[in-house]
Amino acid sequence: MIVLGIESSCDDTGVALVENGQKILGGARASQEKVHAQYGGIVPEVACRMHYETLLPLVQKVCAASGKSLADVDAIAVTNQPGLVGSLYVGLSAAKALAWALQKPLVTVDHIEAHIYAAHLADPDLDYPHVSVVVSGGHTDIFLSTGPTEHALITRTLDDAAGECFDKVAALLGIGYPGGPAVQATSLGGNREAVAYPRGDAGPEGLQISFSGLKTAVLNDLRKRGFVVEAAKNAGRLITARAPETPVPASETRTLSVRLPLADIAASFQEAAVDILVRATLAATRKARCRSVVLCGGVAANKRLREVMAAACKAQKNTHFMAAPLNLCTDNAEMIAGLGFHKLVTGQISGLDADVLPNKDEKRQKAGTA
Ligand code: KG4
Ligand code: ZN
């Protein structure tokens, strides 16, 4: 059975064809990174319009490249939760139109569950239960997963998501958007112990996750070093210290790299963020009495996080560790089609009255599952 997957919950448009929930026949992504980079973050209205322009041409492209036509498709799977409301609507509307025109079933998919499923796409032998660590731009959630759509929350961030923290710190450092890859690249060769950024209070069980203190610590550190941050005026660039009310001529703005050991700051920040995630993951495995960990979501692409998490799992009772493959960590439609197949064969089909659920805590019953 071939499932056409559609992903448009945030700022990447993705389309993929996956056979029997396992074999990727084709897939493509249209990134909006360059457009949003001008604003230092995602502009929802722009994201929505770009999905609208890109989605159907991408469907045609993926079909052509994989030598399939829409007539070969057995079902349409689409992300309907959580995400940006307008972006979700573009994907869901297109999926409904295709399902209706082709007279094929529509399957709505939870984006977070799909991130977890990405690991199963790569390794069909990967079994349940496992502790799933979902780290992305919008989510930092740790679940005990007992099936593809059965995930019990163990802990989640109290404030910022991990990816959001990488993005904000990268903006402070003026090194680009999205911040995760920029921090990773900048930290190469840097000293991870140069600055002891705080890891926050882990709480009595070690499960507490918070990133806002870390972000503020980087900001305060930069200020202490004599830089003021004028994010609004200079799109996150740092300028040399002066009274904030003094106008700064554009010719005097400088990027931090020439004034500070940028690699050390990036490496020290990255190490703190990694430590926070690893500490909570190990606590979650102890709490759930589970010796298997799956790492997924955009931040799971981080090399240092994969490395430290793998070593920490091994050291804790030889806990099995698996990270989603790099190409399936950030948003993609392969994971949507994969999970869509599982839902299709287990009868979890949606009606054409299915709606979007932008907030992750909204009740799933509202999703229109028949
Ligand atoms: O899963 P994803 O594509 O979208 C959401 O569902 O949010 O994740 C995007 C996030 C961004 O915050 C980005 O900076 C982060 O993942 N990211 C990384 C890396 N690659 C992407 N964070 C740290 N290191 C990376 N190599
Ligand atoms: Zn995502």
Cα dihedral sign, 301-303-305-307? positive
The pLDDT, as a whole number, for residue 234 is 43
Tell me which amino acid residue 368 is.
Answer: G
**Lowest-confidence region among 231-235, 320-324, 330-334, 366-370:** 366-370
User: In the prediction, which pLDDT does 37 show?
Assistant: 81
Q: What residue owns the CA closest to ligand 1's atom 1?
A: 298
207 lines ligand 1 (CB under 6 A): no
Ligand 1 pocket residue status of 270, Cβ below 6 Å: no
In short, whether 11's Cβ falls inside 6 Å of ligand 1 is no
Average pLDDT (292-299) is 98
Q: Residue type for 256, please?
A: L
Q: What is the pLDDT of residue 126?
A: 94
Ligand nearest to the CA of 329: 1
**3-state class (DSSP) for residue 169:** helix
On the question of pLDDT at 232 being above 50, the answer is no
Q: Which residues of 112-134 are buried (b: 16+ CB within 10 A; e: fewer)?
A: bbbbbbbbbbbeeeeeebbbbbb
Ligand 1: does its nearest atom lie under 6 Å from the Cβ of 83? no
56 touches 94 (CB < 8 A): yes
- The residue whose CA is least distant from atom 23 of ligand 1 is 180
pTM of the model: 0.90
R_g of the chain computed on alpha carbons: 21
Averaged pLDDT, 142-149:
97
> Using CA positions, which residue lies closest to atom 26 of ligand 1?
302
Residue 216 in tokens: 């503020």
Is residue 80 within 6 Å of ligand 1 at its C-beta? no
Distance between CA atoms of residues 225 and 228, nearest Å = 9
Nearest CA to ligand 1 atom 19: 180
Q: Among 170-184, 250-264, 347-361, whose mean pLDDT is lowest? A: 250-264
- pLDDT value, residue 171: 84
Query: Which residue from 89, 108, 142 is spatially nearest to 299, judged by alpha carbons?
Result: 142
Average pLDDT over every residue of 149-169: 96
The pLDDT value given to residue 176: 81
